[in-house]
Amino acid sequence: MGPSKTQMQPLPSYLPLNSHAAVCGSIHMHGNLRGSMNAAVFHIITMVRLATLAALFATLLLVAHATAFRTTITTVDVDTDIENQQRRGERCREQIQRQQNLNHCQRYMMQQSESGSDEDGNQQQHLQQCCQQLRRMDEQCRCEGLRQVVRQQQGELQGEEMREMMECARDLPNQCRLSPQHCEIRSSWF
């Protein structure tokens, strides 16, 4: 019969004496293997947690960086919009001047506001020439030009005459079959 499983086998004679200590130590360690595995699992879980935290932190940094970058772009866009408005304002002023400050529109609106009188008999001619002046301007500048004409007349016209001139200015693009069909004209007096 062979040796029982609970008894230890003698070491072979070809193993050095200190090997016996190593084998005994490994047998002793085998008993502590469960504790070692628990420690290893604990270390692995800790490493996974640290890696997850590091990934989360990196993601937060990327989001913060992207938000800061987007804010910068928005600021640049706002500056660009202001510059575009300034350029458009300058372009409109130049176009209004090239169209003799819409002098035919001014004459037509003055005649309309004075109860439709046709003092010089050229009301239709002024309307046609006004439409030509507006047609030669950018769509975005037409209403600004008509607002400027109304502002120039605010000192000379009052009350009902001023209201009629403003209504005429609002509808002039429509009478000329141009876009926009109506202009928003406001007076600081009303």
Whether 13 has a pLDDT exceeding 60, the answer reads: no
* pLDDT at residue 73 in the model: 46
Q: What is the pLDDT of residues 88-122, one digit of tens each?
A: 889 999 999 998 999 999 999 988 887 666 666 68
Confidence of residue 83 (pLDDT cuts 50, 70, 90): confident
Counting every residue written for the chain, the total comes to 190
Q: What does the domain layout of the chain look like in residue ranges?
A: 33-98, 100-175
To the question of domain 100-175 being in CATH 3.40.50.620, the answer is no
Selected residue with higher pLDDT from 162 and 72: 162
Sign of the torsion angle spanned by Cα atoms 108, 110, 111, 113? positive
Query: 104 by DSSP, 3-state: which?
Result: helix
188: tokens are 């600081």
- Give 20's DSSP letter: H
* C-alpha distance from residue 92 to each of 9, 27, 98, 138 (Å): 107, 96, 10, 8
* This model's pTM is above 0.75: no
Closest by Cα among 174, 183, 170, 103 to 141: 183
